[in-house]
């Protein structure tokens, strides 16, 4: 019979003591990094492609260029400027042992900006990753440091904000530091699932359990309280969302736990892990479901190859053995940072008449986690390390012959895209004679579902070429002799610029994106920034009034290079064309 309500209240209040020791973080030390009330569009720990979201996304009223302020005193220890990722970012190290990060910025405050631009011209490189000593750029709490923006891999204007442990580099949930986000709404259990753990999670699919949500009270659909299961070895998964009072967005859950017969089986708290370990998200969810539907079913168990430190499990890693046909009590708890919680309780019972047996595909090889795996065939070699897989993979290897130009090898079919790979593996393919004269223009392509990834093919030995990837799929060598294109956007050769503030150039490639870009104004390197598909030069003191020659050079992954020259005239709006000294 279900336990009385007071047990559930006690369970919730003592959860941290039972599952994980809680660290008390300083409250009110960090201020809101914006000058507007905090409204979130994403929280810490949300499930993303190949990673957990590692900070807060704070809304900027759908606008760019809001002032960004230092959350606390300290010094700017690092800035980074990159095409993807956080675009323009600032890192501030604080004396209390934490570092704050501010991402997707449009620009920096003047003193810092001048320093960075000077270094970009010295390095002849737009992308930067600069570290500073404590005395170079000290800041006070509330000091203006940057303008918010939409740079890097950003889907819209916002500020990405993180708090890290300076010593370990691990990311912490900023909401644990007393950031002002009103929240008295408990998490929502969107879906409940069970897995037949007689088999690998890559051999079976999650089986949905029909539930009913009656104003936050969750029950099995149909009125009964017992779930009949056709396997003696199972685990559970949940699809859950959280909300806050001030935002309509849906967020990831902070804590979840599973008990059977009052015994803790699995518990996780999404906090305190590093960026490299964030890729373990692929072992914390049903990967195939997320890949194809975007729905994150989170395991209430730890897969054998998942080394993420957020879990606290029993000796069976949360996998439940039903050794009899008696009913057993299952309790699932979801919890957010503010302590709002959702509990569902039901009974589970093994029923052998519902059992469905499965078998590995005849041409598959069972590849276990925590062991290296090597493929050494006539047309393909591959090497996976011991950390590659989270569960047993029924690995199927296939091959398709070369079809037509520019294919330069047969195609190796490395299982399929539904199984994640934790880190990089190496694959080698033999070059076919038809492409023997193009060894300096070879790329290796991985087709993984809807994704296409490319690597510059590296010579291995005896006519073989290698590349490295972290997804499974179809791999093949290609010859690329087509140089990238260079197209002026919104202007043309011999243009007269009067009121325009910038020059925009679009560069594209037939296979992959452009890898190297350089521009020279009258023979001198000039700073172009990168925005999505385009490169942009904003007129400054390096472009005086008068006639100029702009030379743009781009190179693709294979090494093909294009160069275009453009003539233009820079005039003042009133027509005065006197060259400035």
Q: How would you write 112-175 as a 3-class SS string?
A: HHHHHHHHHHHHCCCCEEEECCCCCCEECCCCEEEEEECCCCCCCCEEEEEEEECCCCCEECHH
Return the CATH class of domain 40-177: mainly beta
Q: How many CB atoms are located within 10 Å of the residue 437 CB? A: 9
What DSSP line would sit under 445-489, residue for residue?
EEEETTEEEEEE-EE-STTEEEEEESS-EEEEEEE--PPPEEEEE
Return the CATH class of domain 188-354: mainly beta
Of the candidates 373, 367, 483, the one whose C-alpha atom is nearest the C-alpha of residue 427 is 373
Reported as a single tens digit per residue, the pLDDT across 31-72 is 999 999 999 999 999 999 999 999 999 999 999 999 999 999
- Given the candidates 1.10.760.10, 1.10.3720.10, 2.60.220.30, 1.10.260.40, the CATH classification of the domain at 364-479 is 2.60.220.30
**Main-chain phi, psi angles of 108, to 5 degrees:** -110, 165
Mean of per-residue pLDDT scores for the chain:
93
Tokens, residue 61: 């009223």
Of the candidates 497, 485, 482, 480, the one whose C-alpha atom is nearest the C-alpha of residue 546 is 497
Reported as a single tens digit per residue, the pLDDT across 443-463 is 999 999 999 999 999 999 999
In the block, tokens 């309509």 appear at 248
Tokens, residue 263: 């015994």
In the block, tokens 């199972």 appear at 234
Query: Which of 2-11, 210-219, 276-285 is least confident?
Result: 2-11
- Give yes or no for a contact between 554 and 562, defined as CB atoms under 8 angstroms apart: yes
What does the alpha-carbon distance between residue 337 and residue 183 come to, in Å, rounded to a whole number? 9
What does the alpha-carbon distance between residue 418 and residue 397 come to, in Å, rounded to a whole number? 14
Bridge partners of 335, per DSSP, are: 255, 341
- Given the candidates 2.60.40.1220, 3.40.50.720, 1.10.150.120, 2.60.120.280, the CATH classification of the domain at 485-570 is 2.60.40.1220
R_g over Cα of the chain: 28
pTM of the model: 0.92
What does the alpha-carbon distance between residue 316 and residue 236 come to, in Å, rounded to a whole number? 13
Looking at residue 567, its pLDDT comes to: 98
Report helix, strand or coil for 529: strand
- Give yes or no for a contact between 399 and 372, defined as CB atoms under 8 angstroms apart: no
**Is a pLDDT exceeding 60 seen at residue 11?**
no
Whether the upstream peptide bond of residue 457 has omega within 30° of 0, thus cis, is no
According to CATH, where is 2.70.50 located in the chain?
188-354
């Amino acid at each position: 019979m279900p336990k009385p309500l007071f047990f559930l209240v006690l369970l919730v209040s003592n959860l941290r003591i039972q599952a994980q020791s809680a660290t008390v973080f300083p409250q009110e030390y960090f201020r809101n990094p914006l000058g507007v009330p905090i409204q979130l569009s994403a929280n810490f720990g949300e499930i993303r492609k190949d990673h957990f979201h590692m900070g807060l996304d704070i809304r900027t009223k759908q606008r760019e260029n809001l002032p960004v302020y230092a959350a606390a005193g300290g010094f700017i220890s690092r800035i980074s400027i990159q095409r993807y990722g956080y675009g323009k970012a600032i890192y501030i190290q604080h004396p209390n042992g934490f570092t704050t990060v501010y991402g997707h910025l449009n620009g920096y405050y003047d003193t810092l900006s001048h320093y960075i631009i000077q270094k970009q011209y010295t390095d002849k490189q737009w992308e930067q990753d600069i570290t500073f000593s404590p005395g170079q750029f000290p800041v006070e709490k509330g000091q203006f440091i940057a303008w918010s923006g939409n740079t890097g891999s950003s889907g819209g204007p916002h500020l990405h904000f993180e708090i890290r442990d300076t010593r370990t580099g691990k990311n912490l949930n900023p909401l644990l530091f007393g950031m002002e986000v009103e929240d008295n709404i408990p998490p929502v259990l969107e879906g409940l699932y069970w897995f037949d753990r007689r088999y690998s999670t890559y051999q079976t699919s999650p089986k949905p359990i029909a539930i009913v949500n009656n104003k936050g009270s969750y029950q099995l659909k149909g009125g009964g309280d017992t779930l009949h299961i056709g396997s003696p070895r199972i685990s559970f998964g949940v699809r859950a969302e959280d909300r806050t009072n001030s935002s309509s967005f849906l967020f990831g859950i902070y804590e979840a736990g599973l008990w059977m017969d009052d015994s803790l089986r699995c518990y996780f708290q999404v906090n305190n892990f590093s960026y490299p370990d964030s890729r373990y998200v692929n072992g914390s969810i049903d990967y195939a479901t997320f890949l194809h539907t975007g729905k994150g079913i989170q395991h209430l168990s730890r897969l054998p190859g998942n080394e993420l430190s957020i879990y606290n499990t029993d000796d069976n890693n949360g996998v439940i053995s039903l050794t009899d046909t008696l009913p057993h009590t299952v309790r699932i708890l979801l919890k957010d940072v503010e302590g709002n919680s959702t509990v569902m309780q039901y009974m589970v019972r093994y029923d052998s008449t519902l059992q469905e047996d499965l078998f590995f595909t005849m041409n598959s090889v069972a590849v276990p986690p925590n062991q290296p795996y090597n493929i050494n065939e006539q047309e393909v070699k591959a090497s996976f390390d011991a950390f590659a897989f989270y569960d047993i993979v029924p690995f199927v290897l296939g091959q398709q012959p070369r079809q037509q130009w520019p294919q330069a090898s047969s195609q190796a079919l490395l299982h399929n895209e539904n199984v994640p790979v934790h880190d990089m593996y190496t694959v080698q393919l033999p070059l076919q004679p038809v492409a023997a004269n193009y060894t300096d223009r070879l790329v290796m392509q991985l087709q993984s579902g809807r994704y296409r990834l490319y690597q510059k093919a590296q010579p291995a030995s005896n006519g073989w070429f290698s590349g490295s990837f972290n997804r499974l799929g179809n791999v093949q060598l290609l010859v690329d002799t087509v140089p990238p294109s260079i197209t002026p956007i919104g202007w043309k050769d011999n243009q007269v610029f009067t009121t325009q503030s910038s020059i925009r150039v679009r560069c594209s490639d037939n296979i992959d994106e452009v890898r190297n870009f350089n521009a020279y104004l009258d023979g001198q390197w000039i700073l172009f920034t990168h925005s999505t598909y385009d490169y942009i030069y904003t007129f400054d003191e390096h472009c005086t009034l008068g006639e100029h020659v702009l030379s743009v050079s781009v190179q693709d992954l294979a090494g093909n290079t294009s160069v275009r020259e453009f003539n233009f005239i820079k005039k003042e709006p009133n027509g005065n064309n006197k060259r400035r000294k």
